Chains A and B, each alone.
Chain A
Amino acid sequence: TQLLEQSPQFLSIQEGENLTVYCNSSSVFSSLQWYRQEPGEGPVLLVTVVTGGEVKKLKRLTFQFGDARKDSSLHITAAQPGDTGLYLCAGVTTGGNTPLVFGKGTRLSVIA
């Protein structure tokens, strides 16, 4: 069974601070996705990283895929209250039409 260890599970920071969320596995994934979920809604895809060592930026969010495609990180610069939410990493196994392997999620609270 492939597992994704996501940390930290909870994070409460002040507006303007930086933070990093980690997602680690002993398994190799063909790609890794990051989602953000608001209460009472489904997850919304933020980014997909495919190539080992890949770095993608989405405004103040920076996503990195490890060289071995076993780990990933999400870094938020100058966090804002609007960044508050549940962040989920999800591993994509080989091929299509297979379920995602989700990490336990990181609940981020940014205090103004």
Chain B
Amino acid sequence: GAVVSQHPSRVICKSGTSVKIECRSLDFQATTMFWYRQFPKQSLMLMATSNEGSKATYEQGVEKDKFLINHASLTLSTLTVTSAHPEDSSFYICSAPQGTGVRQYFGPGTRLTVT
């Protein structure tokens, strides 16, 4: 099956710094990718839809200036958490639909800890 990778898998950063998370579709092209955030013992919450070649679409309550999304190619979307704070600590997961888009492939997630 298709594979989606994320890098890094874990990152610890200091408060006030920025962190970039990459999401790659390894063997298929994805014009759309989705970014989710998951707090401990909770479900996935959609943050934004990343669109190749155009601006991302953010869900209500998600600050677009804080969570910068760039979908520069058909296989790569990046999420940059700017000026990170401890409350941004979470598990960030991306997914990419393949083909008609009904089947989505999830990345393994990135654990962000802001100290």
CB of A105 within 8 A of CB of B97, answer no
A-B contact pairs, 21 of them (CB 8 A): A6-B43, A30-B102, A31-B102, A40-B91, A42-B95, A42-B107, A42-B108, A43-B93, A43-B106, A45-B103, A88-B43, A92-B102, A96-B97, A96-B100, A96-B102, A97-B97, A97-B101, A99-B34, A102-B44, A102-B46, A105-B42
Write the A80-104 contact mask toward B (1 if CB under 8 angstroms, else 0): 0000000010001001111110111
**Contacts A42-B109, A97-B31, A99-B34; A104 near B101 (Cβ below 8 A):** no
Residue in contact with B104 in the complex, picked from A30, A41, A100, A103, CB distance below 8 Å: A100
8 closest residue pairs by CB, A with B: A96-B101, A42-B106, A97-B101, A96-B100, A105-B43, A97-B32, A104-B43, A42-B108
Tell me the smallest distance from the CB of B84 to a CB of chain A, in Å.
Answer: 20
Residues of B within 8 A of A92 (CB): 102
By a beta-carbon cutoff of 8 Å, the part of chain A in contact with chain B is 6, 30-31, 35, 40-45, 48, 88, 92, 95-100, 102-105, 107
Residues of B within 8 A of A44 (CB): 106
By a beta-carbon cutoff of 8 Å, the part of chain B in contact with chain A is 4, 6, 31-32, 34, 41-46, 49, 91, 93, 95, 97, 99-104, 106-109, 111
Q: Once bound together, how far apart are the Cα atoms of A105 and B46, in whole Å?
A: 14
- Closest A residue to B111 using CB positions: A40
Residues of B within 8 A of A95 (CB): 101
- Closest B residue to A103 using CB positions: B43
Residues of B within 8 A of A35 (CB): 106
CB of A107 within 8 A of CB of B102, answer no
Tell me the smallest distance from the CB of B31 to a CB of chain A, in Å.
Answer: 7
Q: Once bound together, how far apart are the Cα atoms of A93 and B21, in whole Å?
A: 27
CB of B109 within 8 A of CB of A40, answer yes
CB of B107 within 8 A of CB of A96, answer no
- Closest A residue to B60 using CB positions: A1
Residue in contact with B93 in the complex, picked from A42, A48, A103, CB distance below 8 Å: A42
Tell me the smallest distance from the CB of B68 to a CB of chain A, in Å.
Answer: 19
